Amino acid sequence: MNRLGADQKDLPAIYTTLRVSPQVSLEGIFSHFAASEVVDDPYGDEQLRQFSELVAAATQRNVHPSIRHMANSAAIAGRPSSWFNFVRPGLATYGYCLPLTSRRGAQANLPEPLPLETALTWKTRVLQVREVATGQQVGYSGGFVARSATKVAVLAVGYGDGLSRKLSSRGRMIVRDAYAPILGNVSMNLTAVDVTRISGVTVGDEVTIIGAAPSCNISLWEHANLAGTIPYEILCSISGRLMRKYVD
């Protein structure tokens, strides 16, 4: 990918240096696909061929990296020949994977997707419930103007927490097992949602940003599609200031 790492032409000299350097041992060697989700990508085939040759070349020069890996989440599903003795499930550990594709389009016989279960739920709570009259604005720049009397729940989450501002007036949350559309612009620490048709909403109610309720579900893909990006960016944007709760 011409990012980090050693160039192919430099590896023989590196192997030689390692072999004669008793202070240093090569623990592992790895590479990374440029388009792992495309199962028949010819550049991916070439990357795998080169990596396999370079692993073999290490052994021939009496350098024995015990850890060898190339497969990320999509390659675990789509390129079993790239598994070697380690794999790198990143996105898959959250229960997601990029969809496998083929240069042959609909005619391709694609491998079965990984049998994943989502492992991330992102929640917040209602800070305040407001009655907004017809014609009144909500949020910065009047991003929402009420066409009729509207009940608004103000939530303790914003783009400072990693909620994409591109979800303004487009995304939705789950409140009391019902969808609540985002009203106006997502701000730094607060977001407003419409709870007019959801009865009983009160301060402190739990709100699901990403995750499932008995009758509703908001996936990572929904956020990514609305924001015009990929699930990786949505995950990486979730701020470190948020409290994490890990469940076995």
Q: Kindly report, residue by residue over 189-244, the tens digit of the pLDDT.
A: 999 999 999 999 999 999 999 999 999 999 999 999 999 999 999 999 999 999 99
User: What sign does the dihedral 152-153-157-162 (CA atoms) show?
Assistant: negative
- Round to whole Å and give the CA distance between 238 and 242: 8
Quick: pLDDT tens for 47-99.
999 999 999 999 998 899 999 999 999 999 999 999 999 999 999 999 999 99
- Cβ neighbours of residue 236 closer than 8 Å, sequence gap 6 or more: none
- What domains can be seen in the chain, in order of their start residue? 9-107 (3.20.20.10), 122-237 (2.40.37.10)
Chain centroid offset of residue 111 CA: 21
Q: Indicate the pTM of the whole model.
A: 0.89
- DSSP-derived secondary structure letter, 35: S
Residue 179: what pLDDT? 98
Q: Say how many C-beta atoms besides its own lie within 10 A of residue 90's C-beta.
A: 13
Q: Which two tokens stand for residue 209?
A: 């940003």
Q: How far is CA 8 from CA 5, 36, 54, 148, 162, in A?
A: 9, 20, 8, 65, 38
User: In percent, how much of the chain has pLDDT > 90?
Assistant: 86
